[in-house]
């Protein structure tokens, strides 16, 4: 109990009377309404104008040498001379491979029901198998 008294008498012990909650006494004086910088920073447009200042404008100079698209360009590699297909051309080509109405015979409804029943049975077997594997992995705990 004697240590409590010694600790509470310490000038560093927290106490509302020793540490007033006056915000001005707890923070250093900051300038009010000061400027961070006085620099005149260029905008993106200013930088573009600065970069292109002095460059010749369109049509103010003569092209010398060979330019892509000119008739007398140098021989090189050609990847393809075929006409490029548009998206619509591709969709039409792929749709042409699909059967349309009347291109196939309808199955007997009974055979459709039998096929659906087989698929349902397979799904049930797969589900039961996965449940038993999960049960075995968890040592018989959980479902």
Cα–Cα distance measured from residue 45 to residue 96, given in angstroms and rounded to the nearest whole number: 52
Is residue 120 predicted with pLDDT exceeding 80? yes
Task: Examine the pLDDT at 35 and tell me if it is beyond 80.
Answer: no
More confident residue, 39 or 110: 39
Distance between CA atoms of residues 52 and 44, nearest Å: 12
User: What's the CA dihedral at 63, 68, 71, 77 to 10 degrees?
Assistant: 150
* Residue 29 in this model has a pLDDT that exceeds 80: no
**Which pair of structure tokens corresponds to residue 71?**
């008739």
pLDDT at residue 49, as a whole number: 92
């Amino acid at each position: 109990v004697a240590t409590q008294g010694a600790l509470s008498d310490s000038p560093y012990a927290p106490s509302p009377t020793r540490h007033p909650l006056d915000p001005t006494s707890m923070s250093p004086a900051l300038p009010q309404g000061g400027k961070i910088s006085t620099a005149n920073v260029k905008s993106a447009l200013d930088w573009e104008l600065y970069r292109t200042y002095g460059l010749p404008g369109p049509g103010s100079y003569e092209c010398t040498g060979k330019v892509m698209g000119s008739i007398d360009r140098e021989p090189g590699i050609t990847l393809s001379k075929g006409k490029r297909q548009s998206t619509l051309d591709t969709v039409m080509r792929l749709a042409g491979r699909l059967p349309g109405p009347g291109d196939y015979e309808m199955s007997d409804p009974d055979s459709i029901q039998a096929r659906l029943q087989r698929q349902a049975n397979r799904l049930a077997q797969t589900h039961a198998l996965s449940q038993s594997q999960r049960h075995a992995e968890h040592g018989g705990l959980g479902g």
